[in-house]
Amino acid sequence: MCGIAGALLVEGEAALPDPARMIATLRHRGPDGTGCFRSPTCVLANARLSIIDLETGDQPLANEDESVWTVLNGEIFNYLELRAELKALGHRFRTRSDTEVIVHAYEEYGDRFVERLSGQFAIALWDGRRQRLLLARDPVGIRPLFYTRTAGQLLFASEVKAILAVAPQAASLDEQGLAQVFTFWGTVGERTVFKGIRSLPPGHRLIVEKGAQRLEGYWDWTFPQGPGRTDLSLDEAAEALHALLRDVVRQQLRADVPVGAYLSGGLDSSGIAALARESVGTLQTFSITFEDPEFDESAYQRQMADYLGVRHCALRCTAEDIGNVFPDLIRHTETPVLRTAPAPLMLLARHVQSQGFKVVLTGEGADEVFGGYELFKEGKIRRFWARQPQSPWRPLLFSRLYPYLERSPVANRHFARLFFGQRLGELDSPFYAHLTRWSTTRGIFKLLSPELLASLSSAAPEEELLRQLPADFPAWSELARDQYIEVKTLLEGYLLSSQGDRVSMAHSVEGRVPYLDRRVIEFANALGPRYKLRGLREKVLLRRSLRQVLPDAILRRVKQPYRAPDSRCFFPGGRPLPYVEALMSPSTVRRSGYFRPEAVERLLEKCRSGRALGAGDNMAFVGVLSTLLLQEQFFGGRAAQAPVSA
């Protein structure tokens, strides 16, 4: 795991930037050393977090004649198998690093080498003979990679701050990107909240040669047309999945440093921890606990740790901790967020690092792959209700959702009918299951300034997402369509970034996500919906596959998503934290140009007095605060600067 950065001269006689300046901003990602490659037209840089081949794995790495150079952020989990294959074909290796596999695989297989990699990665590869740069990102988007063209150069890096170190003019807000965050929780596709700075999409490679650039997709989530595979019994499918997960976990345990695991007490992380414990014998697990019982899962964490016989370490996180660390969180996420949930995970990563660990396995991705979210149940009930919209009984099914929420949207039957009945008849919408959720999130639009709203009037956030849907999307099952939209919005735009890579790598901790291995995704996607959501019982197949390694209490447990306290974290003793008071003052809000000062002032008072109403008010408060922090930290407190050419 590392941070990477670099530049390519694409036109004119511009001087290439100093790669050391770029990589210096990423030392939190790679504190174990830095390295640079320089040529007249290309520079590559790396900040290393040494995990595999501690002695000879420094980057950049080259092939035998040093005509091909690469830097890697991430891991290639099947590097041993690829190494043996490439050595049999005559390639000579100088290190034991997984990174060196990349240059030899490129020599052997050309641009399609990336399709042979099993891992989580962002790669930059320079072919000196052909004077071409190749950037590639893993299929799911676990590791980030950003790029922009400016002043005759193409700049790229693991984080935006490395680009801004040599191109400060790129610090300009993308209003459409902000609107996407305020709808989907993250941006979609190539868009970021920085105008002109693009995110290389998951499962894509970018090839730049002779000044021209070409973006190619090599993998995407796909589902069968119709019901999907139904020939396996549930037990047969569970047995096959269990064997696959065991192999994936075994492969992802490869490291020359200790590997730990996160343990939330839920099905997903418990399953990964159990499989890891089975493979390595001894295991260290880590978890977060909260003071508020609505968020705390410590009883289940202790139960699971005792069951596995692992060494377990729990970090107590208070509301005050979240409020104090929040500005640092935004510096690392480089985007506004709508919930505080990433903050405790960043604190946990700091604790993991203090215990001498660089790698942890996590349970992220199981909900998307195996149908675990309440949203999927909402979609199923709403479609059932829509077929008889006058029925007084069908909407009563919503009462079976959200048992873990103190202020559940289904607690009041009248409110539930109104909320879930929104746009009930729009069954042809590709976003059907998400419409009600997005309407809540978009409540923050009521706070936007007239000027910002005017700039957004030409295109709704959904339009860009609509253009990216696969051609056969309408032929997929309803659950498959709901899964795909969830992946392309929440997973890629938020969970794997602001709540994933960014918070763990803020403290040099690599998170590995076995459920998002491409083999697991492809196996699960080929199966029909009944293997995932049966009635209103979620993750049926995954539960069955983990029976032999988990206790019944964990297998039967109703899903409780990871959450954290929100707006109340910023008002210790009933007063706003100093930075909150300063940022959300009417003068600062007015100067930003993003929000209406009087509306923000009312929201601030509402949250200060404890009158915030559910998710809508909390998301609005956190969204406003994080946007103002982003402006202060990256835009110099100014709402607009000179744009960068796309």
| pLDDT tens string 155-195 | 999 999 999 999 998 899 999 999 999 999 999 999 999 99
Residues in Cβ contact with 630 at an 8 Å cutoff, skipping those fewer than 6 apart: 193, 330, 334, 335, 336
What is the rounded distance in angstroms from the CA atom of residue 270 to the CA atom of residue 253?
A: 16
pLDDT value for 19: 95
**Does residue 385 lie in a domain region?**
no
Residue 503 near residue 496 (C-beta atoms within 8 A): no
What is the rounded distance in angstroms from the CA atom of residue 390 to the CA atom of residue 385?
A: 8
Query: Backbone dihedral region of 573: left (phi > 0), alpha (psi from -120 to 50 degrees) or beta?
Result: left
| pLDDT tens-place string over residues 7-16 | 999 987 778 9
pLDDT value for 403: 75
What is the rounded distance in angstroms from the CA atom of residue 492 to the CA atom of residue 470?
A: 16
Domain end marker among 202, 217, 232: 217
Find the farthest-apart pair of alpha carbons in the chain and give their distance in angstroms, rounded: 74
Q: Is pLDDT of 642 > 80?
A: no
Mean pLDDT across 620-637: 94
What is the rounded distance in angstroms from the CA atom of residue 592 to the CA atom of residue 420?
A: 35
Mean pLDDT across 335-357: 98
The structure tokens listed for 318 are 């208070």
What is the rounded distance in angstroms from the CA atom of residue 49 to the CA atom of residue 359?
A: 10
| pLDDT tens-place string over residues 218-264 | 999 999 998 888 889 999 999 999 999 999 999 999 999 999 999 99
Q: Is pLDDT of 645 > 50?
A: no
- The residues with which 280 forms a beta bridge, in sequence order, are none
Mean pLDDT across 286-303: 93
Triad 549, 266, 248: Cα angle to 5°: 50
- Of 24, 67, 57, 18, the closest CA to residue 38 belongs to 18
Count of C-beta atoms within a 10 Å radius of residue 169: 14
Q: Is pLDDT of 114 > 60?
A: yes
**For 12-29, b where at least 16 C-beta lie within 10 A, e where not — what string?**
eeeebbbbeebbbbbebb
Count, residues in the chain: 646
At 602, give phi and psi (nearest 5°): -65, -40
Domain end marker among 197, 217, 237: 217
**Does residue 598 lie in a domain region?**
yes
pLDDT value for 210: 87
**Which of helix, strand or coil describes residue 42?**
strand
Question: Can you give the pTM of this predicted structure?
Answer: 0.95
pLDDT value for 549: 96
What is the rounded distance in angstroms from the CA atom of residue 21 to the CA atom of residue 39?
A: 16
Residue 415 near residue 388 (C-beta atoms within 8 A): no
| pLDDT tens-place string over residues 402-434 | 876 666 677 778 888 888 999 999 999 999 999
What is the rounded distance in angstroms from the CA atom of residue 94 to the CA atom of residue 554?
A: 47
Does residue 45 or residue 642 have the better pLDDT?
45
pLDDT value for 530: 94
What is the rounded distance in angstroms from the CA atom of residue 528 to the CA atom of residue 227?
A: 5
The structure tokens listed for 191 are 């868009």
**Does residue 423 lie in a domain region?**
no
Radius of gyration over every alpha carbon of the chain, rounded to an integer in angstroms = 24
Residues belonging to the active site: 2
pLDDT value for 139: 98
Specify the range with the lowest mean pLDDT, choosing from 414-423, 519-528, 562-571.
414-423
Domain end marker among 167, 188, 217: 217
The structure tokens listed for 16 are 């290439």
Strand 146-150: give its sheet, edge to edge: 34-38, 42-48, 2-9, 153-157, 146-150, 198-199
pLDDT value for 1: 64
Q: Is pLDDT of 118 > 90?
A: yes
The structure tokens listed for 576 are 């706003």
* Most confident of the following: 173-187, 387-401, 451-465: 173-187
Does residue 349 or residue 612 have the better pLDDT?
349
- DSSP assigned state of 165: T
Total tally of structural domains belonging to the chain: 2
Helix (H) or strand (E) holding 148: strand 146-150
| pLDDT tens-place string over residues 427-447 | 999 999 999 999 999 999 999
**Does residue 481 lie in a domain region?**
no
What is the rounded distance in angstroms from the CA atom of residue 173 to the CA atom of residue 192?
A: 9
**For 509-538, b where at least 16 C-beta lie within 10 A, e where not — what string?**
bbbbbbbbbbebbebbbebbbbbbbeeeeb
Range of the domain at 597: 567-634
Specify the range with the lowest mean pLDDT, choosing from 127-131, 158-162, 494-498, 558-562.
558-562
Residue with tokens 């959501």: 533
- DSSP assigned state of 200: P
Of the pLDDT bands very low, low, confident and very high (cuts 50, 70, 90), residue 539 is very high
Question: For residue 211, what is the domain's CATH number?
Answer: 3.60.20.10
Q: Is pLDDT of 641 > 80?
A: no
**Does residue 233 lie in a domain region?**
no
| pLDDT tens-place string over residues 55-105 | 888 999 999 999 999 999 999 999 999 999 999 999 999 999 999 999 999
Does residue 330 or residue 170 have the better pLDDT?
330
**Does residue 6 lie in a domain region?**
yes
Work out whether the CA dihedral 589, 590, 592, 597 comes out positive or negative: positive
**Does residue 44 lie in a domain region?**
yes
**Does residue 545 lie in a domain region?**
no
> Considering the chain, what percentage of its residues have pLDDT values greater than 70?
98
